[in-house]
């Protein structure tokens, strides 16, 4: 299932992320803000359990998160989405999957994988750009093989081809994105997109 973030602030932030004139410092700040909105949306259905606490006046029953949360950014661009989740969920566990896309063939090569225990967890795989979907499908496969049962994929911009690839390869995994873009160009970059997210984030 595809979930496209519907919020005026998200649309405002996306406009400035797309702007080629936005410098890296501002780009990082905007990406962080949008990441918080995406984190809230992608965790809307987290399971909770009853928990009793003592207020200064009396005891009351509230709700607490019932299961551990794990985020898995796809290196390196996915690191730019990690901090907003850590701000909201400071006790979250973080795993890493390193995939590097060949810019000529658009095929991803795996070079690193470090994951925490995934039994009875909710896992969010993070990658800002869902273009062809090759990296997303590969990362989701790796995480499932490591024991994850309940996953979501969270990105900032998604192309139709990437959405279709994830839905075909992992139909049980919902996709959360801030923008559903038009197409890919002949170099497999998203149109209109925002360029290379990692390069713009780190000024490289």
Catalytic residue, candidates 19, 120, 183, 199: 199
Mean pLDDT over each residue of the chain, to the nearest integer: 94
Query: Residue 3: what pLDDT?
Result: 98
Catalytic residue, candidates 15, 48, 105, 141: 105
Give the CA dihedral 112, 118, 124, 129, nearest 10 degrees: 20
* pLDDT tens digits for range 22-61: 999 999 999 999 999 999 999 999 999 999 999 999 999 9
> Alpha helices, DSSP H only, in the chain?
8-18, 24-42, 82-88, 134-145, 160-169, 197-202
CATH number at residue 38: 3.40.50.2020
Query: Residue 59: what pLDDT?
Result: 97
Strand-strand pairing, 59-65 and 96-101: unpaired
Catalytic residue, candidates 43, 101, 132, 181: 101
Percent helix / strand / coil, the chain, rounded to 5? 35, 30, 35
The model's pTM is 0.92
Whether 105 sits among the annotated catalytic residues: the reply is yes
Rounded mean pLDDT of 180-194? 95
Helix/strand/coil for 178: coil
Whether 200 sits among the annotated catalytic residues: the reply is no
- Give the total number of structural domains in the chain: 1
Whether 183 sits among the annotated catalytic residues: the reply is no
DSSP 57-79: S-EEEEEEE-S-EEEEEEETGGG
The residue range of the domain holding 109 is: 2-202
* pLDDT tens digits for range 59-107: 999 999 999 999 999 988 899 899 999 999 999 999 999 987 666 665 6
């Amino acid at each position: 299932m595809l979930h496209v973030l519907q919020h005026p602030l998200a649309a405002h932030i996306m406009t400035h992320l797309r702007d080629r004139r936005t410098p890296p410092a501002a780009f990082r700040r905007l990406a962080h803000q949008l990441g918080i909105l995406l984190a809230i949306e992608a965790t809307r259905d987290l399971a909770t359990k009853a928990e009793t606490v003592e207020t200064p006046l009396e005891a009351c029953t509230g709700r607490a998160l019932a299961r551990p949360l794990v985020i898995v950014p796809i290196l390196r661009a996915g690191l730019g989405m990690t901090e907003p989740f850590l701000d909201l969920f400071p006790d979250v566990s973080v795993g890493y999957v390193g995939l590097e896309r060949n810019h000529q063939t658009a095929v991803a090569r795996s070079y690193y994988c470090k994951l925490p225990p995934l039994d009875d967890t909710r896992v969010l795989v993070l990658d800002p750009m869902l273009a062809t979907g090759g990296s997303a499908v590969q990362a989701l496969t790796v995480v499932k093989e490591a024991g994850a049962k309940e996953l979501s994929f969270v990105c900032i911009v998604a192309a139709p081809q990437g959405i279709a690839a994830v839905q075909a390869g992992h139909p049980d995994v919902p996709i959360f994105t801030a923008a559903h873009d038009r197409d890919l160009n002949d170099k497999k970059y998203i149109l209109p997109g925002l360029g290379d997210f990692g390069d713009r984030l780190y000024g490289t």
